[in-house]
């Protein structure tokens, strides 16, 4: 389970950012996780609870926005959602595509902090 | 108490990606071709790597970093092919990251090498999130694992460059459907190069050596010019 290492990087990142911005009392951390990022949502939430204990983020909540897999079809010239995570082809014309538009994201988007 | 939202937009893997980027530049300027190997446990990765190292060692200077949870057995076995083998023992960590690579390379003269192989911890999930600065990533599955492996782990197959089907000598006995395996790989990563090998009999290895030789020639052609330092 690499989600714990990932959570530790998120905590580091937030620490750096909130120090730079002079923030304290982070209530919610908004995260974007692509379905093709290789990161499991439940494992991430579990690791969050564990890793935040005893840190300034102890009472914070992790909010995860799931980003779907979208590929670019070279034939239709459209962004399409493939039939499944293991069928990377256009649902309309069935052309295979190795161009991934979204689905690999793993980023902190915003923080909700006490005003 | 009211709250406010602060946008921060930060890539979670930023630290690793920055370090991996620096490693990639270092590999390029040193002229060493770096190949990462990922697979599930028991896919025959060490046997394949042993074959690669001993096959290439006749004409090239080769080295390997081997990631493992605990034991050092693999490194000892690979040292029969080249003395340039280092073990990265990760303890409970299920993947290698760029920082571990940087640390493991301390004291190595990269410009005296042609090929460096990085064998990741046996795991088809976690390594997909970590760029190690490698030029090519090989994902391996064995004929004894089943044809549906790519469908179960699409992310790692998609984020690799080359697929290697190993233990082909056992394919018939295991009733392994090669065509189905190829279809599944193609389905998760359209256009992926696929090689069928047996480290035991050596079948298919020549094509992999050829790919690596071509890769080395290509990367040396396109590598950035060496910086010549002049003392003013
Ligand atoms: Zn299409």
> How do residues B17-60 score in pLDDT, each as one tens digit?
999 999 999 999 999 999 999 999 888 889 999 999 999 999 99
Asked whether the beta carbons of residue A107 and residue B12 sit closer than 8 angstroms, the reply is: yes
Q: In angstroms, rounded to a whole number, what is the distance separating the alpha carbons of residues B68 and B39?
A: 12
- Three-state DSSP at B98 gives helix
Distance (angstroms) between ligand 1 centre and the Cα of B20 equals 34
Instruction: Report whether A65 contacts A35 (CB < 8 A).
Output: no
Radius of gyration of chain A (CA): 17
CATH superfamily of B30-220: P-loop containing nucleotide triphosphate hydrolases (3.40.50.300)
Which residues are registered as beta bridge partners of B195? Answer: B164
- B69, A4, A85, A81: CA torsion to nearest 10: -150
The model's pLDDT over A43-77, given as tens digits with 9 standing for 90+, comes to 999 999 999 988 888 889 999 999 999 999 999 99
Task: Report pLDDT digits (tens) over B107-148.
Answer: 999 999 999 999 999 889 889 889 999 999 999 999 999 899
What is the Cα–Cα distance from B182 to A115, expressed in whole angstroms?
Answer: 56
Looking up residue A7, the CATH number of its domain turns out to be 3.30.2320.80
Ligand 1 centroid to residue A96 C-alpha, Å: 8
Distance CA A53, CA A66 (A): 25
| Average pLDDT rounded to a whole number, residues B161-177 | 96
The residue-averaged pLDDT of A38-45 equals: 92
| ipTM of the complex model | 0.87
Distance from CA of B221 to the nearest CA of A (A): 26
A-chain CB neighbours of B159 within 8 Å are 38
Does A59 carry a binding-site annotation? no
Domain count, chain A: 1
Nearest to A87 among B11, B16, B187 (CB): B187
B215 alpha carbon to ligand 1 midpoint, in Å?
Answer: 32
Select from A1, A2, A102 the residue whose CB has the most chain B CBs within 10 Å, as the one to mutate to test that interface.
A2
Radius of gyration of chain B (CA): 19
**With contact defined as beta carbons under 8 Å apart, do B139 and B38 qualify?**
yes
* Separation between Cα atoms, residue A83 and residue A71, nearest integer Å: 11
Q: What are the boundaries of each domain within chain B?
A: 30-220
A77 is in an annotated binding site: no
Residue A73 lies in domain: 2-113
**B182 touches B194 (CB < 8 A):** yes
């Amino acid at each position: 389970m690499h989600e714990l290492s990932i959570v530790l990087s998120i905590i580091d990142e937030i620490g750096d950012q909130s120090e730079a911005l002079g923030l304290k009392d982070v209530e919610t951390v908004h995260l974007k996780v692509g379905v093709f990022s290789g990161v499991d949502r439940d494992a991430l939430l579990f690791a969050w609870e564990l890793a935040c204990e005893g840190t300034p983020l102890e009472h914070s909540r992790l909010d995860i926005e799931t980003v779907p897999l979208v590929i670019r079809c070279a034939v239709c010239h459209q962004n399409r959602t493939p039939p499944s995570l293991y069928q990377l082809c256009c649902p309309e014309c069935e052309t295979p595509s190795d161009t991934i538009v979204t689905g690999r994201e793993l980023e902190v988007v915003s923080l909700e902090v006490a005003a | 108490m009211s709250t406010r939202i602060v946008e921060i937009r930060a890539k979670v893997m930023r630290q690793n990606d920055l370090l991996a980027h620096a490693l990639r530049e270092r590999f390029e300027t040193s002229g060493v071709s770096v190949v990462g190997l990922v697979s599930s446990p028991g896919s025959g990765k060490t046997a394949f790597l042993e074959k690669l190292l001993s096959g290439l060692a006749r004409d090239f200077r080769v080295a390997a970093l081997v990631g493992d949870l605990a034991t050092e057995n693999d490194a000892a076995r690979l040292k029969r092919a080249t003395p340039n083998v280092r073990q990265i023992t990760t303890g409970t960590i299920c993947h290698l990251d760029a920082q571990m690579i940087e640390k493991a390379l301390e004291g190595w003269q990269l410009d005296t090498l042609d090929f460096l192989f990085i064998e990741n911890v046996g795991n088809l999930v976690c390594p997909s999130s970590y760029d190690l600065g490698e030029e090519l990533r090989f994902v391996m599955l064995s004929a004894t694992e089943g044809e549906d492996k790519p469908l179960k782990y699409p992310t790692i197959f998609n984020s690799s460059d080359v697929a290697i089907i190993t233990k082909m000598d056992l394919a018939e006995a295991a009733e392994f459907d090669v065509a189905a395996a190829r279809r599944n790989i193609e389905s998760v990563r359209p256009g992926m190069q696929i090689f069928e090998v047996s480290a035991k009999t050596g079948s298919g290895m020549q094509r992999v050596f050829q790919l690596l030789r071509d890769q080395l020639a290509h990367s040396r052609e396109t590598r950035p010019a060496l910086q010549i330092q002049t003392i003013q």
